[in-house]
Amino acid sequence: MNGPSRAGLRKIRTALLRGLLPVLAAGGLAAGPAGAQDGVWEKWSSESFTLQPRESFQFHVNFDEIQVRSWKLVVDGGDMKADLSVLRVRDESLLYYKIDEQRHEAIIPWGRGEEIMVVITSRNEKGSFTVDLMGPPRDQVHAAYSYHVNRALEAYGSGRRLKAEAECETAIRLDSEDGVAKVLLAGFLRERHYYTKAEALTQEALAGDLPPEMRELAEDLQDELAKLRAPLPEEVVQGVARAEDLLEAGEAEEALQICDDLLSGGLELRSPSKSRLQTLRGRALDQLDRNFEAVDAFTQALQLTRNRDRQAVIYFHMGRLYLKMDNYQQAQGAYTMALNYGLPSGLEVQARESLKVIENRLAE
How many CA atoms, within 13 angstroms, populate the side-chain half-sphere of residue 226? Answer: 9
Residue from 111, 106, 211, 192 nearest 152 by CA: 111
117 alpha carbon, distance to own chain's centre:
29
What digits encode the pLDDT tens for the residues 35-57? 455 567 888 889 999 999 999 99
175 burial via Cβ count (<10 Å: 0-12, 13-18, 19+): middle
Mean pLDDT confidence for 303-320: 90
Work out the angle at residue 132's Cα, subtended by the Cα atoms of residues 104 and 92, and round it to the nearest 5 degrees.
60
pTM of the model: 0.54
Contact predicate 28/39, CB 8 Å: no
Tell me which CATH homologous superfamily contains domain 147-229.
Tetratricopeptide repeat domain (1.25.40.10)
CATH class of 39-140: mainly beta
Contact predicate 184/168, CB 8 Å: yes
Common-topology check for domains 39-140 and 147-229: no
Mean pLDDT confidence for 157-161: 79
Contact predicate 315/340, CB 8 Å: no
The rounded distance, in Å, linking the Cα atoms of 156 and 165 is 8
Q: Which residue has the higher pLDDT, 284 or 307?
A: 284
What digits encode the pLDDT tens for the residues 339-362? 988 887 678 889 999 999 999 999
Q: Is residue 182 pLDDT above 90, yes or no?
A: yes
Query: What pLDDT is stored for residue 221 in this prediction?
Result: 87
Domain range summary for the chain, segments of one domain joined by +: 39-140, 147-229, 234-363
- Give the chain's mean pLDDT: 84
What is the third-level CATH fold of 234-363? 1.25.40
